[in-house]
Structure 1
């Protein structure tokens, strides 16, 4: 697959990942953490705000393809 096509597909998937993840993380917090204190909200949103990076890293690694050795 050409690298330009990989980057296009990866960019679209990355944007969709962030949007879908943000909606689900916020919906989860709204349903399950509505009555929790401020510290719980802070910890949850700090953790969930960093958690999306893991699938994004894998997607970005795929976008750039295998490493080429000179």
Structure 2
């Protein structure tokens, strides 16, 4: 555990919130137009995949927030 607070945690949380907001807005704006004619099951799978994809860079980001090193 660290003894001193670090600026990376509040900045990281703000960046995470802003990044996820931008990601969600881009998905909500552009994806429906691209997949509107697709079968409902395929649309569901696309949204499930897009809902999970944002987690991929999260590990490295959290390591940076905690340690200051790239994961």
Structure 1 and Structure 2 fold alike (TM over 0.5): yes
The alignment of Structure 1 onto Structure 2 pairs a total of residues equal to 66
Q: Indicate the structure with greater helix content.
A: 1
TM-score by length of 2: 0.79
- Structure 1 gap ranges (5+): none
- Structure 2 gap ranges (5+): none
Is the 1:3–1:64 contact (alpha carbons within 8 Å) kept by the matching residues of 2? no
TM-score by length of 1: 0.79
- Asked which structure has the greater RCO (Cα within 8 Å, sep 6+), the reply is 1
Partner Cα separation in structure 1 for residue 18 and residue 68 of structure 2? 24
Alignment partner, residue 67 of structure 2? 65
